[in-house]
Amino acid sequence: MYMTSAQLRRAFLDFFASKGHQIVSSSSLIPGNDPTLLFTNAGMVQFKDVFLGQDKRSYNRAVTAQRCLRAGGKHNDLENVGYTARHHTFFEMLGNFSFGDYFKQDAIQYAWEFLTEVVKLPKEKLWITVYATDDEAFDIWTKHIGVPAERAIRIGDNKGAPYASDNFWAMGDTGPCGPCTEIFYDHGDHIWGGPPGSPEEDGDRFIEIWNNVFMQFNRHADGRMEPLPKPSVDTGMGLERIAAILQNVHSNYEIDTFAALIKATAAITGATDLNDKSLRVVADHIRSCSFLVADGVMPSNEGRGYVLRRIIRRAIRHGNKLGAKGVFFSKLVGALAEQMGEAYPELIEKRAVIEKVLALEEEQFGKTLERGLGILEEALAELHGSTVIPGEVAFKLYDTYGFPLDLTSDVARERGLTVDQAGFEAAMEAQRKRAQQASNFGADYNQALTSAQCTDFTGYSQIQGKAKVVEILLE
Ligand code: ATP
Ligand code: MG
Ligand code: MG
Ligand code: MG
């Protein structure tokens, strides 16, 4: 059944509303209740305190389409972008939640009904995983729903520790946790990959679409698993992954919203091959960067701001590869707002600010990118058969030309090379020590450093200064 991304989002919210769920708006990419979490990386983040019993809502069933970011922090899919068919840095997670209300039986029933009756996926293409010892979930799937046992796979502790499994979810080392059941879609044997649990599971043939987590226990520091008095349900389904199925394409990057962004990127950069991996990277990154700025993150040298800066610079490098001349990235905000502005009006309201922030970063980095790439090429010519780029080189690119380490690693990966990360860290540490010694002697090392760098790179502080101005505009 064909559906646009917008129709799918609506259908999901409406379906769960019809089952008594409160439709709750997406929260910000910056978690409001958790300073330890870099970004909102799942639908449950805004409900964390409700699950912990520390917050009460007027409803005990909720449904959301949550904007999520998985770059930096515990969940980091930045390196997957451009390489897999299914990963983005920014994506939307559709989720239904039960706060001590319904549990496994209803959750599984709802998921199956939505997939097979609302969006009408062929049952025989759906595969199921459950936690190895979760007989209850296994029986619901095989006996009640009727999924053949050969397509219901038990996944044990595949991560080398008790309760460390793709099918066992935990908020942290202690606290709420429980088994989960995941639903996979088989895109067909023309694509490489194997079912979950098989040696080829990392391929893109069997794509995970929906995770249903059953919060069932409270884990204590001594390892004791105490059953929760009111078990809960937390689910997450990637909107782009199911849109791909409904739109008869394999890759998330071919769905309606991405096709439009990729076209716009090709038009601006002059790229002619619409399958170029760099187009996918830029289209992915304009989403994450625009939403980050809309949610108040500014490029900087630390924390969330540095993640944003890294993604922008990576996008600029890929745009440069595609043939972009001058500022191009910020010019894609309009195309994004056209695609997603209806669901996320902030993209339209804040469009001018987003464009300004991205353009500033582009102007700054554009100046040093070419020279840095030149230095990198020289270093590559000196490798003499080695496949490892020395840490010193990566550090120089970082320090003088503003190349985040993952940007250098990205170039390396394209050539089948790696970067000596330990060497990079060591060079960084050595510079820190030198700076400390210099300041011990009373010399203003930082001053010297800034002016020495001015010829090559105008310095982060200037960018941050400009970002401040924009920050004021934002308020
Ligand atoms: P995968 O194994 O494919 O990396 P995951 O197990 O890390 O996915 P979950 O943490 O279970 O994903 O998140 C719930 C759902 O969110 C997934 O089933 C998937 O549909 C979607 N999802 C997760 N990560 C991404 C991503 N980087 N881009 C797009 N969708 C994603
Ligand atoms: Mg993952
Ligand atoms: Mg997974
Ligand atoms: Mg999963």
Residues 165-175: pLDDT tens digits? 999 998 888 88
Give yes or no for a contact between 156 and 168, defined as CB atoms under 8 angstroms apart.
Answer: no
Residue type at position 390: P
Q: How far apart are CA 118 and CA 349, in angstroms?
A: 33
Q: How far, in Å, from the CA of 167 to the mean position of ligand 3?
A: 8
Residues 6+ apart with CB under 8 A from 321: 278
Mapping DSSP to helix (H, G, I), strand (E, B) and coil, where does residue 121 land? coil
pLDDT bin (cut points 50, 70, 90) of residue 108 is: very high
Residue nearest to atom 23 of ligand 1 (CA): 238
Please report the pLDDT score of residue 436 as a whole number. Answer: 87
Half-sphere CA count of 348, side-chain side, radius 13 A: 8
Residues 6+ apart with CB under 8 A from 263: 274
Q: How far apart are CA 169 and CA 158, in angstroms?
A: 13
Ligand having the closest approach to the CA of 91: 1
For residues 227-239, give the mean pLDDT. 95
Q: How far, in Å, from the CA of 228 to the mean position of ligand 2?
A: 27
For 116-164, write each residue's pLDDT tens digit: 999 999 999 999 999 999 999 999 999 999 999 999 999 999 999 989 9
Q: How far, in Å, from the CA of 165 to the mean position of ligand 1?
A: 15
Ligand having the closest approach to the CA of 80: 1
Residue nearest to atom 11 of ligand 1 (CA): 211
Q: What is the DSSP string of 339-403?
A: HHTTT-THHHHTHHHHHHHHHHHHHHHHHHHHHHHHHHHHHHHT-TT--EE-HHHHHHHHHHH--
Q: How far apart are CA 19 and CA 23, in angstroms?
A: 11
Please report the pLDDT score of residue 464 as a whole number. Answer: 44
Please report the pLDDT score of residue 333 as a whole number. Answer: 98
By DSSP bridging, strand 418-419 and strand 388-389 are parallel
Q: How far apart are CA 77 and CA 287, in angstroms?
A: 14
Q: Is 70 exceeded by the pLDDT of residue 242?
A: yes
Residue 98, ligand 1, Cβ within 6 A: no
User: What ipTM score was computed for the predicted complex, to two decimals?
Assistant: 0.99
Atom of ligand 1 nearest to the CA of 238: 20
Residue 237, ligand 1, Cβ within 6 A: yes
Q: Is 70 exceeded by the pLDDT of residue 43?
A: yes
Give yes or no for a contact between 94 and 237, defined as CB atoms under 8 angstroms apart.
Answer: yes
Q: How far apart are CA 136 and CA 359, in angstroms?
A: 54
* CB under 5 Å of ion ligand 4: residues: 211
For 317-338, write each residue's pLDDT tens digit: 999 999 999 999 999 999 999 9
Residue 63, ligand 1, Cβ within 6 A: no
Give yes or no for a contact between 246 and 16, defined as CB atoms under 8 angstroms apart.
Answer: no
Residue position matching structure tokens 């990360």: 421
pLDDT bin (cut points 50, 70, 90) of residue 441 is: low
Residue position matching structure tokens 């997957």: 80
Q: How far, in Å, from the CA of 211 to the mean position of ligand 2?
A: 11
Residue 91, ligand 1, Cβ within 6 A: yes
Q: How far, in Å, from the CA of 211 to the mean position of ligand 4?
A: 5
Residue 208, ligand 1, Cβ within 6 A: yes
Mapping DSSP to helix (H, G, I), strand (E, B) and coil, where does residue 226 land? strand
Q: How far, in Å, from the CA of 405 to the mean position of ligand 1?
A: 25
Residue 356, ligand 1, Cβ within 6 A: no
Q: How far, in Å, from the CA of 182 to the mean position of ligand 3?
A: 8
